[in-house]
Amino acid sequence: MTLVAACGFRPLYGERAMTASTVDAMALVEVGKLPGRYGQIIRNHLIDRLSPRGRPSAPRYQLVLEIETQKEALAIEQDETVERFNFTLITKYRLVDLGTATTVLRSRSQSIAAYNVVRSDYATLVAEKDAANRVARVVCDDIKLQLSVFFDRQLSPYS
């Protein structure tokens, strides 16, 4: 691993995967507002992941997001009742440098979670909300990873 580290390679996962300067750069990202309940969930998850010490007082970047949710029937019985759904969250985003108003990164992230339909409407609703929270966490972790790679490359002397 020492030989690989000499050429500038650093693992993305594990201890000290992100440099302090990458963490500092991510803390300067303001997460744009999103409409609806799922938008609020995603925004809160991203704020927690990007700037755990609070929102930046002087942000340098803004993360602009567009979300789309889909609910697809998976298991359909002969009487046409649905037994299982896939809940999909598709998030398109761009990182805007507030100093120049230019988009410096554009990407997307997607996650799918399944949940069962049961006899209790309340239990089915809870299962759907749980699926929505799971896909939101996965998408937010992916966005954080993509942003950390972007900032790491921007700050690296090897880029």
List pLDDT tens digits, range 103-158: 999 999 999 999 999 999 999 999 999 999 999 999 999 999 999 999 998 876 65
Sheet holding 29-31, edge to edge: 29-31, 61-76, 82-97, 102-116
Which pLDDT value is given to residue 98? Answer: 96
What is residue 11's predicted lDDT score, i.e. its pLDDT?
56
- Inter-residue long-range contacts of 11-17, CB under 8 Å, 24+ positions, other chains counted: 12/145, 12/148, 12/149, 17/148
Q: What integer pLDDT is reported at residue 22 of this predicted model?
A: 82
- Return the CATH number at 144: 3.30.160.150
Residue 151 lies in a domain: yes
The number of distinct structural domains making up the chain is 1
Per-residue confidence (pLDDT) for residue 24, from 0 to 100: 84
113 located within any domain: yes
Place of tokens 């108003």: 101
Please answer whether residues 29 and 59 qualify as being in contact, where contact means their C-beta atoms are separated by less than 8 angstroms: yes
Domain of 98, in residue numbers: 18-155
In-domain check, residue 13: no
Q: Report the C-alpha gap between 81 and 5 in whole angstroms.
A: 56
Judge if pTM exceeds 0.85.
Answer: no
Residue 112 belongs to some domain of the structure: yes
| pLDDT (0 to 100) of residue 159 | 52
Percent of the chain beyond pLDDT 90?
A: 64
> Of 7, 2, 49, 1, whose CA–CA distance to 26 is shortest?
49
Q: φ and ψ at 129, to 5 degrees?
A: -65, -40
Find the mean pLDDT for residues 93-109: 97
Whether the pLDDT of residue 82 is over 60: the answer is yes
Provide the pLDDT for residue 125: 95
More confident: 17 or 156:
156
**Calpha distance 107→53 (Å, rounded):** 26
From the number of C-beta atoms within 10 Å of its C-beta (0-12, 13-18, 19+), residue 137 rates as: middle
For residue 25, being part of any structural domain is answered with yes
Mean pLDDT of 33-55: 89
